[in-house]
Amino acid sequence: MAQIGTFTRDEAGLYSGTIRTLTLNVKAAIRPVERDNDKAPDHRVFAGAVEIGAGWTKVARETGAEYLSMKIDDPSLPAPIYAQLVQGDGGEHRLIWSR
């Protein structure tokens, strides 16, 4: 697993930071949204005004720590990116890519 992003979170629950891959290098925002059903995402991912993904709040079985399970997609990518946004050191959140 590789770190592809770094984010900070404000009091309103908005994450702001960057996503960097071989094809993406964007400033991004992860915004909480109102869910309209049980399967709807808890967050939406934006690069500027363009929505590029979604996130669902999950809880780690081993530690009980909350994280976001993310799906990011863009026409420049060969396939969607699945990642987890986890809390790191000093209030920083790391976006960890997985396959």
CA distance 40 to 84: 17
pLDDT digits (tens, 9 = 90+) for 28-65: 999 999 998 989 999 999 999 999 999 999 999 999 88
Q: Are 8 and 18 in contact (CB under 8 A)?
A: no
pLDDT at 51: 95
> Domain limits at 89?
2-98
Q: Beta strand 66-72 with 2-9: parallel, antiparallel or unpaired?
A: unpaired
pTM score: 0.91
